[in-house]
Structure 1
Amino acid sequence: MASADTERREEEEAPAAEDEDTGAQVAPIVKLEEVAVTTGEENEDAILDLKSKLYRFDKDGNQWKERGAGTVKFLKHRETGKVRLVMRQSKTLKICANHLVLPSMSVQEHVGNDKSCVWHATDFADGELKDELFCIRFPSIENCKTFMETFQEVAESQKKKEENKDASAAAGLLEKLSVEDEKKAEKAEDKSEDKAEDTPVKSEEKGKPEGEAEKSDAEKKE
C-alpha cells in the first residue's frame, strides 16, 4: 500500500507535459468582413451637443410620454446650410427626434420648470412625418438656456437665408426681363432699318431713264 501511495504522489507532483506545437493552422469557419457604418451625419457639423431627456405630448392620453434620454444635437449641413435637430438614446442610439429647424419655429420655456422647454415640429424620427409637441429637460438651467438661445439663432439664420434667396431670385428675374426687353428693342430697330432699305422707288421715277430722272429732280429744285 505504501508503494502504491508513493507512486500516486509522484505522478501528481510530476510536471505536466507541455503542449506540443504541431504547426497546424486552422482556418476560421466564417470570414467576417468590415462593414462601413453610416449615421447620416457624415456631411454635417454639430453646432450644439447636450445631454438631455426628451418627452412628447400624447394627445390621446392627454399626457407627456418619455421618448428617451441621450444627446440632443443641432447639425448643420456643409453644402445646403440647413440645420436639423437630432436626438439619440444614449445606449441604443435609437433616434428620438429628427426634424429640420425652420424659420417659423419657436421654443418656449416650460411652465413651472426652468430646466425644460417646449416646441412644435414636424418630426421624422419614426420614418414618417408627424406633428409633435416636444418637451426637453436638461440637468441644469444653463444648458436649457443655451439650447433655447441656439434654437432661436438657428431659426433666425434660416429666415435670413430664405429672405436672401428670395431677393436673389427676384434680382435674377428682373435682370432676365431687362435683357429680354433689350433684345426686343434691338430686334425692333433691325426691322425698321430693313424696312427702310426695302422701300420701293416711286413708279414715275422708276420707269424714266437716268437723264430724265435727273432733269425732273432739277426742275423740282427750281
Structure 2
Amino acid sequence: MASSTEPTALKREEEEEDDSKPSAEDEDTGAQIAPIVKLQEVAVTTGEENEDVLVDLKAKLYRFDKEANQWKERGVGMVKLLKHKETSKIRLVMRQNKTLKICANHLVQPTMTIQEHQGNDKSCVWHAADFSDGELKQETFCIRFASVENCKSFKDKIEEITESLSKVSVESAKEADAATNLIEKLSFEEKAKEEEPAPKEEKKDESEKKEEKSSDDKKRRDWNVEMMYSSGLRLNGYGVYIYKAYAGPGLFKTAA
C-alpha cells in the first residue's frame, strides 16, 4: 500500500511544482504598455471645505417609509455635524461608505428634538426637513451606533446645538419686536406732525411785517415833516402847509 501511495504523492508534488513555476505567458518581458487615454487629476470638492467638523462618527441610518409602514436602511457610513465658518449654520450630513452617496443632509433647527428609539441606548430618532434626494422632504430618521458612548455623544451634541439656537432665536425675536415698536412709534409721531395745524409763527411773521411797515411809514412821515420845516413850510390850523413868510395874519393858530 505504501508503494502505491508514494508515486501518487510524488506526482502531486511535481504537479504543485509545475504549477508554481511561471509559465511563458506569465513571464515578465519588460515591455511597457502606454495607456490609451491619459487622465488628468481632478480635485473633487465635497461642499464641506468651508465647514468645521463638530462630530464625525460611524453609524447606520434608517428612514421611516410611511407607505410601507416600516423602517428602511439608508446606508452605513460616517455621520457628521458641520458648522459653516461664515454663516455659523450647522447641518447634519451622512455619506455611504465607498460610494459616498449622501443619505442624509439637513440643517439642525432649534425646533429639532432627538430621543432614544424604543429604549435602545444605541439608537436615536428625530424628524427633519431633509434635502439628500435633491428636494426638501419631511423625514423621520433613526440612527444606530456601535456603542452607547457614540450614541450619547451624538445625542448630547444635537441637544446642545438646538438649545443654543433656541436662545439665539429668542434674542432675535426680542430685537425684532423692539425694532417693530420703534418703527411704529416713529410712524405715529410723523403722522401726528402731519395732522398738526399750521404753525402760529407764520401769523406772527405777518404781524411783524405789518409793524415794520407801519414803523417805516412813520419814519418816512417824520422825515417829510422835518424837510418841510427846514424849507419854511408850516402847518396852519386848517391842515394845510404854507410858507410862513407869505402867510397873512390869522393863518396860524399858534406861533411857529
Q: Same fold (TM over 0.5)?
A: yes
Q: Which residue of 2 aligns with 1:157?
A: 164
For 2:203 and 2:35, locate their aligned partners in 1 and report how far apart those are by CA, in whole Å.
93
1:74 equivalenced with 2:81 (yes/no):
yes
Structure 1 letter corresponding to 2:63: R
Moved more, 88-97 or 164-173: 164-173
Structure 2 letter corresponding to 1:162: S
Encode CA deviations 1:138-191: one digit per residue, 9 max, x unaligned: 1111111111111111111122222232333344445556677788899999x7
Q: Which residue of 1 aligns with 2:143?
A: 136
Q: 2:69 aligns with which of 62, 66, 78?
A: 62
Moved more, 115-124 or 30-39: 30-39
Contact 1:205/1:213 (8 A) holds in 2: no
Encode CA deviations 1:181-218: one digit per residue, 9 max, x unaligned: 788899999x748525632459799568315999xxxx
Aligned length: 189
Which structure 1 segments of 5+ residues have no match?
1-18, 20-25, 215-222
For 2:203 and 2:43, locate their aligned partners in 1 and report how far apart those are by CA, in whole Å.
75
**Secondary structure of the equivalent of 2:206?**
coil
RMSD of aligned residue pairs (Cα, Å): 3.7
Residue 30 of structure 1 and its aligned partner are, at CA, apart by 3.7
Which structure 2 segments of 5+ residues have no match?
1-29, 223-256
Q: Which residue of 2 aligns with 1:47?
A: 54
Q: 1:212 to 1:150 in 2, by over 3 A?
A: same
For 1:88 and 1:169, locate their aligned partners in 2 and report how far apart those are by CA, in whole Å.
38
**Secondary structure of the equivalent of 1:51?**
strand
Structure 1 letter corresponding to 2:81: F
Encode CA deviations 1:12-34: one digit per residue, 9 max, x unaligned: xxxxxxx9xxxxxx997544333
1:87 equivalenced with 2:94 (yes/no):
yes
Q: 1:57 to 1:185 in 2, by over 3 A?
A: closer
Residue 38 of structure 1 and its aligned partner are, at CA, apart by 1.0
**Secondary structure of the equivalent of 2:62?**
strand
Moved more, 170-179 or 91-100: 170-179
Q: Which residue of 1 aligns with 2:218?
A: 210
Q: 1:143 to 1:194 in 2, by over 3 A?
A: same
For 1:27 and 1:186, locate their aligned partners in 2 and report how far apart those are by CA, in whole Å.
87
Moved more, 168-177 or 103-112: 168-177
For 2:129 and 2:59, locate their aligned partners in 1 and report how far apart those are by CA, in whole Å.
20
For 2:207 and 2:221, locate their aligned partners in 1 and report how far apart those are by CA, in whole Å.
15
For 1:146 and 1:133, locate their aligned partners in 2 and report how far apart those are by CA, in whole Å.
20
Residue 94 of structure 1 and its aligned partner are, at CA, apart by 0.7
TM-score (norm 1): 0.70
Structure 2 letter corresponding to 1:199: E
Q: 1:202 to 1:53 in 2, by over 3 A?
A: closer
Identity between Structure 1 and Structure 2 (%): 58
Q: 1:31 to 1:171 in 2, by over 3 A?
A: farther
Residue 68 of structure 1 and its aligned partner are, at CA, apart by 0.5
TM-score (norm 2): 0.62
The answer to which structure, 1 or 2, has the higher relative contact order (CA under 8 A, 6+ apart) is: 1
For 1:141 and 1:155, locate their aligned partners in 2 and report how far apart those are by CA, in whole Å.
21
Q: 1:203 to 1:43 in 2, by over 3 A?
A: closer
